[in-house]
Amino acid sequence: MKKVAILCVLLALGVASVAAQTATPRVTKRQLNQQARIKEGVKSGDLTRRETRRLERQQAKIAIDKAKAKSDGVVTPREKAKLKREQNRASRRIYKEKHDAQTQY
């Protein structure tokens, strides 16, 4: 019985360490924030349908890249930097599109 308990504890620790290596809470939080900004732009009429489609497609690409980074069980610093760079680019584009002269008709 003791061996089973020890094995369960070790297995739980192993799973926790793998989860910690693939955790990307900042990326997830930024994705949610950027989705909310896009939604707000649609609601206020600052984004056209075309702009919205482009921004949504960009967000989808970031989500795919995030899934690829996590697929091997470890998100490397290089992968984190790439995701951060993509999110910075997306954030600037959201701002630019929301503040241009185009509006929803």
- 38 domain residue, yes or no: yes
Q: Hey, what are 88's tokens? A: 């910075």
- 19 domain residue, yes or no: no
Looking at residue 85, what is its pLDDT? 97
Distance from C-alpha of 49 to C-alpha of 42, rounded to nearest angstrom: 8
- 31 domain residue, yes or no: yes
Quote the number of domains for the chain.
Answer: 1
Q: Containing domain of residue 77, as a range?
A: 24-98
- 55 domain residue, yes or no: yes
Q: What pLDDT, in 10s, does the model give residues 21-31?
A: 568 899 999 99
Q: What pLDDT, in 10s, does the model give residues 61-98?
A: 999 999 999 999 999 999 999 999 999 999 999 999 99
**Cβ proximity of 46 and 99 under 8 Å:** yes
- 54 domain residue, yes or no: yes
- 15 domain residue, yes or no: no
- 13 domain residue, yes or no: no
